[in-house]
């Protein structure tokens, strides 16, 4: 006679078995995500499920902003309005000249039969929240693939480059800031056209300008703009200023720290650029199929 234990004693598989099952599942996901980027489908699905929760979580902050706006004093608004009017007036002649220059530039390009640059389209976006992952520096904006955002597009605010769109969901996208450890941007010193590449990950949200010779012509306070040779960032956007230079005779390279011009802490409004810069076609790799035939020929010749 076998006795089955009553059902309330039945507890399923042992905790250790469950743990190993779920841990291996998590490790599998992590490897797929970190090494092969295969987990984006899973991420999109879970993001769609998590979106309502995120919207609800953002509601108190939206409410706070709404109330703060409502009680924002008219004096402050008038002041801001006046300042903006002066700014617009000051910028007007520049803008008019820019139009003329653009027209002239297009004409010259046409004359040279150069590729005519398409006018850059841009999408206005707002920061929803700063990234909650303490290991990376990201912000999440309120426009996604539904609004035509694509991964890789540069993001700017009114004073300079903020970063690059790195992951796109349906209604949101993640922007990796320039100060993220894995983010790099090709730059040019505005004063003399010296090219360099800046990397994020320095202390306190600063950038590192690596691999500059110790005797390179770069000074404190120099402005660095995008060089545009990467085909991602349009050329000429201000990015950072030189904050500190340490030249040590013991090293071949100077240690240069940059302070980014733009900051995500100040404003919530951003611009996602697209279409301005055209990526150069990737260099044609030598077809491996041709190599054996060549060697055969050479062998025949031998």
Partner 1 sequence: MELQRQAQRILLPAKVSFIVLTVALALLFNLLPWRNSAGVPDLTAAVLAFWCIHQPRRVGIGVAWTLGLLLDVGNGALLGQHALGYSVLAFLALAVHRRILWFPLWQQALHLLLLLLSTQVLTLVIRIAAGAGFPGWTYFAGSFICAALWPVLSFLLLLPQRRAEMMDENRPI
Stretch that binds partner 1, among 104-112, 136-144, 271-279, 280-288 (CB under 8 A): 136-144
User: Which of positions 170-209 make contact with partner 1 (CB under 8 A)?
Assistant: 174, 181-182, 201
Binding flag, residue 27, partner 1 (CB under 8 A): yes
Binding flag, residue 285, partner 1 (CB under 8 A): no
Stretch that binds partner 1, among 12-20, 153-161, 238-246, 283-291 (CB under 8 A): 12-20
**Which of 5, 6, 134, 282 touches partner 1 (CB under 8 A)?**
134
Residues in contact with partner 1, shown as a per-residue x/- string from 240 to 279 under the rule CB under 8 A: ----------------------------------------
Stretch that binds partner 1, among 135-143, 144-152, 156-164, 184-192 (CB under 8 A): 135-143
DSSP for the chain?
A: ---PPPGGG---S-HHHHHHHHHHHHHHHHHIIIII--THHHHHHHHHHHHHHHHHHHHHHHHHHHHHHHTS-HHHHHHHHHHHHHHHHHHHHHHHHHHHHHHHHHHHHHHTTPPPPPPPEEEEEEEEEE---TTS-EEEES--GGGT--TT-EEE-SSSEEEEEEEE-SS-EEEEETTSTT-EEEEEETTT--EEEEE---GGG-EEEEEEETT-S--TT-EEEE--TTSSSPTT-EEEEEEEEE--TTSSEEEEEEEES--TTT-SEEEEEESSS-PPPPPPPPPTTHHHHHHHHHHHH-
Nearer to partner 1, 166 or 188 (CB): 166
Q: Shortest approach of partner 1 to residue 185 CB, angstroms?
A: 18
**Which of 1, 16, 111, 285 touches partner 1 (CB under 8 A)?**
16
Nearer to partner 1, 37 or 90 (CB): 37
Using CB under 8 A, list all residues that contact partner 1.
11, 15-16, 18-19, 22-23, 25-30, 32-34, 39, 42-43, 46-47, 49-50, 53-54, 56-58, 60-61, 128-136, 138, 140, 167, 174, 181-182, 201
């Amino acid at each position: 006679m076998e006795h089955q234990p009553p059902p309330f004693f039945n507890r399923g598989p042992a905790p250790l078995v469950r743990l190993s099952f779920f841990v291996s599942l998590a490790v599998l996901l992590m490897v797929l995500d970190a090494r092969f980027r295969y987990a984006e489908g899973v991420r999109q699905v879970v993001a769609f499920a998590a979106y309502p929760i995120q919207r609800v979580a953002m509601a108190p902050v939206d409410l706070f902003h709404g109330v703060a706006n409502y009680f924002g004093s008219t004096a402050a608004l008038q002041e801001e309005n006046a300042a903006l009017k002066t700014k617009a007036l000051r910028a007007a002649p520049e803008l008019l000249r820019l139009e003329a220059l653009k027209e002239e530039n297009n004409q010259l390009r046409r004359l040279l039969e150069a590729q005519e640059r398409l006018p850059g389209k841009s999408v206005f976006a707002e920061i929803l929240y700063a990234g909650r992952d303490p290991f990376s520096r990201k912000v999440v904006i309120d426009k996604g693939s539904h609004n035509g955002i694509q991964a890789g597009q540069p993001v700017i605010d009114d004073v300079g480059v903020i970063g690059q769109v790195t992951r796109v969901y349906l209604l949101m996208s993640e922007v990796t800031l320039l100060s993220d450890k894995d983010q790099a941007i090709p730059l040019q010193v505005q004063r003399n056209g010296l090219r360099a590449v800046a990397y994020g990950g320095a202390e306190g949200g600063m950038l590192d300008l690596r691999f500059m010779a110790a005797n390179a012509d770069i000074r404190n306070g120099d402005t660095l703009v995008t060089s545009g040779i990467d085909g991602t960032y349009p050329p000429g956007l201000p990015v950072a200023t030189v904050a500190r230079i340490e030249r040590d005779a013991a090293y071949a390279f100077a240690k240069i720290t940059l302070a980014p011009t733009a900051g995500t802490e100040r404003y919530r409004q951003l611009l996602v650029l697209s279409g301005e810069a055209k990526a150069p076609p990737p260099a044609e790799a030598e077809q491996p199929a041709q190599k054996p035939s060549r060697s055969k020929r050479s062998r025949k010749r031998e």
